[in-house]
Amino acid sequence: MAGEMKSRRQANDGDAAQAPNTTTSNGTRNAGDDIPHENIFLLWPNIIGYSRIILAIASLYYMPLHPRTCSLLYSVSCLLDALDGYAARHFEQSTRFGAVLDMVTDRCTTSCLLVFLSSAFPRWAILFQGLIALDFSSHYMHMYATLAMGGTEQSHKNVDKSRSRILSLYYTNKTVLFTTCALNEAFFIALYLLSFSSPLLSPSLLQSADPSTAQAVMHHGAQVNSSLLRHLFANPHSAAALELARANKMDSFWPWVFAGISFPVMALKQVINVVQLVKASKWLAEGDVKMRRAQGLPRKRKTA
């Protein structure tokens, strides 16, 4: 009996030595726990995500009057989207917070650019507004359906081919994902540059300023009132300043080239958004049917 009890104690000691470190209910660690504490907010992929946000905000600041600076900052912010994914895989730091941060940043930056395009091309404002609504709704529905139906451990990028071949290719093939997203953004950036450079899209660029007003104001002895001062020294964020910035014309050749190349991919991206919205809606509906059946719904009506 004594030998048997000794063997059991030795076995228990061996199991304890091999057992993973645990954390008690009050948050303190066991004495043998050597796993370092991680601050999820300071992981490398998330730091890159914060940098993307800073660059995006800077691009919005320069967006009304400085198209070259804005385009550079915005493009770098978009390209860092690929770098944070690489960092997450390289450092084994993939997190749900990082995935949500990445998606929210993408949606917000694109929406802000589309808002500017709505003001630059008022005739097409409803189209840009529709693209914003489609982008937000499809990604929200897809994320929610993945969490509700696939579980909290499943990534929104793990799409089975049986559910949608095009979504599976889009999310699982990194080359397809990067190319589609990059050219989608390139098309909107090209439109943004064309609002400063193309008289075809912005006829106001053909209008020349009337020099008579300025000559009258600057004439020696002329009376200068406050309204004329406001006309000459307008608020740098006013509509008049925007027109002056557009008068500093840019060459529209390359923006037209980028717009022509990226347009088919942008259109494909919108098709993917529609498919994503429809598939996520059907997936949620399937779950609703199962849940209602489990609850005995719909109830059979009693016949008279």
The set of catalytic residues is 106
CA distances from 245 to 31, 66, 110, 208 (A): 66, 8, 23, 13
Quickly count: other Cβ atoms within 10 Å of residue 164's Cβ. 20
Quickly count: other Cβ atoms within 10 Å of residue 75's Cβ. 16
Q: Following DSSP, what letter does each residue of 231-284 receive, concatenated?
A: HHS--TTSHHHHHHHHHS----HHHHHHHHHHHHHHHHHHHHHHHHHHHHHHHH
Q: Are 170 and 180 in contact (CB under 8 A)?
A: yes
Rg of the chain, C-alpha, whole Å: 29
Q: Is the preceding peptide bond at 211 cis, omega within 30 degrees of 0?
A: no
Q: Under DSSP, is residue 93 helix (H, G, I), strand (E, B) or coil?
A: coil
Burial of residue 98, with CB atoms counted within 10 A of its CB: 0-12 exposed, 13-18 middle, 19 or more buried: buried
What is the enclosing helix (H) or strand (E) of 301?
Answer: none
Q: Are 202 and 124 in contact (CB under 8 A)?
A: no
